[in-house]
Amino acid sequence: MGTTFDVLVVGAGAAGLMAAGQAAAAGASVLVLEKMSQTARKVRISGKGRCNVTNLCPPTAVLENIPGNGRFLTGAIHKFGPEAMLDFLAAEGVPTKVERGDRVFPVSDDAHQVANALEHFAKRSGAIIRLGTAVSKLLTDATGVTGVRCGDGTVYRAAQVIVCTGGGSYPGTGSTGDGWTLAAAVGHTVTPTLPSLVPLRTKERWPTDLSGLTLRNVSVSLVSSLGRDVQFGELLFTHFGVSGPTVLTLSRSAAVWLAAGVSVDMHIDLKPALDPDVLDGRLQRDFAKYSRKQIKNGMNDLLPQALIPIVLAAADLSSEKPIHQVTKEERQALAKVLKDLRLTVAETLPLAAAIVTQGGVSVREVNPKNMESRLVPGLYLCGEVLDVDALTGGFNLQAAFAMGYAAGKAAGQRSRETT
């Protein structure tokens, strides 16, 4: 194997394999350098091993689900959006199915099938993949990028280098933030990197007692002096605090606010469909029905059993109190807690435990048309290494594929023009 190529791709993850395949398919000689012993480790564990590979919604809706610089991806997602990704997977022999919330999974429910298809596409298009090879330096001269140096000292030359090293979450998959160091060393700005889509640790200990309990159809608000964010849906109690879809989405704001040093409170509306008067009426009916019971045994129609003592304690009510002795004021205090059960967010779990990183190489320094650096000609950056992050639902992978597609096409096209 030679050491000079048209295009080098650093990182054989979601974005890298797509970029490599596209560049090679356009006629470029492509070498992919991957530091792990296997390609696309993160894709292989994505979606709990099932890989939520994209979301079958219109491009505008994809962009709405990318709170971290979604606008930067407008062109890329319109060029290579969910429909194009489904066509790509079908052509690679990966049938897909659409589940709740338009989430797309392989019919096989096997993330390896997606990763293998990406690897196969890159190889079949002509790209060479070298595993177990970490890139430690980007080489440049006055004209732009000229190649890379690997950890073992090997130098590879190319006039175009696509950096797809991912973010900093789940470092065991190989994404350890190397791309931020590589890009910063050639002059790029790296915005502060924080976890997103990550569980939250609470100051209160009582969530531990409810570990494993999922609340459905609740409204969860996060409030700080810097803003307010609300999500409706499921909340999961864990041995350290809270998780589940509402919390993962809210964690993006929580991480930013906590990093700014302000306190963050969580308010859980356990009965968002009932306004306070309707809820009071409901309590009165339940209390009439169970008037001879102790209050802890008279709320099972309203709440999961395990949550009852927590709610009663928050309302300052003795769980042994006979229901017929509960005063109007006590009932109203209880209704108030049902509409506003509070927790204090102590911290997010660390970046290593997050699904994605928010922050990364500044998108201001990258051309959104082709992901090329505005600072170093011939250098492209795509995927989670950039300051781009999305919500759950298949949007992070879709973003990575769209960026990889744009960079790979552009690099392949350019190498054809220069040869």
Q: If binding is defined by CB under 6 A, does position 396 make contact with ligand FAD?
A: yes
| Count of CB atoms situated within 10 Å of the CB of 346 | 15
Distance CA 144, CA 146 (A): 6
Residue 138 Cβ vs ligand FAD, minimum distance, rounded to whole Å:
10
Q: Among 5, 88, 156, 170, which residue interacts with ligand FAD (rule: CB under 6 A)?
A: 170
Exposure string over 385-407, b if 16+ CB within 10 A, otherwise e:
bbbbbbbbbbbbbbbbbbbbbbb
Residue 169 lies near ligand FAD (rule: CB under 6 A)? yes
Q: Give the Å distances, CA to CA, from 145 to 70, 151, 192, 262, 386.
A: 27, 18, 25, 42, 18
Going residue by residue from 22 to 41, which x/- string records binding to ligand FAD, judged by CB under 6 A? -----------xxxx----x
Rule CB under 6 A: is residue 13 a binding residue for ligand FAD? yes
Rounded Cα distance between 216 and 235, Å, is 7
Q: Which amino acid is at 353?
A: A
Q: How far is the CB of 106 from ligand FAD (least distance, A)?
A: 11
Amino acid at 238: T
Count of residues that interact with ligand FAD, criterion CB under 6 A: 39
Contact between 236 and ligand FAD (CB under 6 A)? no
The one-letter code for the residue type at 25 is A
Tokens of 135: 């890139």
Contact string (CB under 6 A) for ligand FAD, positions 355-374, x = contact: xx------------------
The DSSP H or E segment spanning 235 is: strand 227-237
Give the pair of three-digit tokens for residue 346. 């102590």
Q: What is the DSSP letter of 274?
A: S
Interface residue with ligand FAD among 20, 26, 28, 43 (CB under 6 A) is 43
User: Rounded to whole angstroms, how far apart are CA atoms 137 and 151?
Assistant: 8
Please give the structure tokens belonging to residue 262: 């302000």
**Contact status: 51 vs ligand FAD (CB under 6 A):** yes
Interacting residue with ligand FAD among 7, 8, 23, 47 (CB under 6 A) = 47
Of residues 164 and 236, the one with the C-beta less far from ligand FAD: 164
Check binding of 383 to ligand FAD (CB under 6 A): yes
3-state SS, residue 175 = coil
Question: DSSP characters for 57-110?
Answer: S-HHHHHHT-TBTGGGGHHHHHHS-HHHHHHHHHHTT--EEEEGGGEEEETT--
Smallest distance from ligand FAD to CB 281, Å: 43
- Give the one residue of 256, 391, 400, 407 binding ligand FAD; rule: CB under 6 A: 400
In whole angstroms, the minimum distance from the beta carbon of 98 to ligand FAD comes to 14
- As measured in angstroms, the least distance from the Cβ of 12 to ligand FAD is 5
Q: Of all residues in this chain, which one has the CB nearest to ligand FAD in the complex?
A: 13
Identify which range of 76-84, 253-261, 334-342, 390-398 contacts ligand FAD by CB under 6 A: 390-398
Q: Whole-number minimum distance, CB 266 to ligand FAD, in Å?
A: 23
In the list 134, 139, 303, 333, the residue contacting ligand FAD (rule: CB under 6 A) is: 134
Q: Is 86 helix (H, G, I), strand (E, B) or coil?
A: helix
Structure tokens, 88: 């790509």
Question: Residues in the site for ligand FAD, rule: CB under 6 A?
Answer: 10-16, 33-36, 41-43, 45-47, 51-52, 134-135, 164-166, 169-170, 173-175, 178, 355-356, 383-384, 394-397, 400
